[in-house]
Amino acid sequence: MVLDTSVIGKSTGAYKVRVERGPVSFFAAALKDDNPIYRDETAAEAAGFEAIPAPPTFSFAMQHMGRFAEEQPSDPTGGSNPMHAVMGDLYAKGGLVLHGEEEFQYHRPIVVGDVLVGEGKIVDLYEKDSDRATMTFIVMETVWRDEATNEPVVTEKFNLIHRLSK
């Protein structure tokens, strides 16, 4: 199959989140991390943080706990997310869609009180063939920036994989 790589570089959406203490504590508990820095300001400050930090990988879930509709930026996709279109077309052919590799590059810790603005984009689209299947990879990246300073806080990269048996 010939892939339409014209989607590379296109936005997958823009978001604004508020990092709040309750969701951070809940996320740490879900990870079974009982470190007090995720619950207690005094412990966080004693460990060198300016506020309660978010556990690693929190940025991937924070949209589900700190995003409020009335605060969202304009949709840069124009209502048509190219990642959904690519994966929808592939899924319609059958096969499986899997969440593949994830990578997080922290520029500074995420802490309670942060207001972060992120924009995602497609950074790669490619296929790998084997004797039994064709796998299509769509790689997306979201850069989360501090709303006040526009400085990057964390860059997430992850891929979705469509596996179609031959």
Q: Mean pLDDT throughout 128-156? A: 95
Instruction: Report helix, strand or coil for 86.
Output: helix
Q: Which of 15-19, 53-57, 81-85 has the lowest mean pLDDT?
A: 81-85
Asked if 125 and 136 touch (Cβ cutoff 8 Å), the reply is yes
Please give the residue range of the domain that contains residue 19: 5-165
Give exposure, 8-30, as e/b (b: 16+ Cβ within 10 Å). Answer: bebbbbbbbbbbbeebbbebbee
Residue type, 166: K
Residue 88 pLDDT: 86
Q: Residue 3's pLDDT band (boundaries 50, 70, 90)?
A: confident
Residue 1 pLDDT: 60
- Cite the beta strand spans of the chain per DSSP E: 11-18, 96-106, 115-129, 133-146, 152-165
Q: Residue 65's pLDDT band (boundaries 50, 70, 90)?
A: confident
> Average per-residue pLDDT in the chain?
94
Q: Residue 132 belongs to a domain with what CATH number?
A: 3.10.129.10
Query: What's the number of domains the chain is made of?
Result: 1
CA 24 – CA 39 distance, rounded (Å): 8
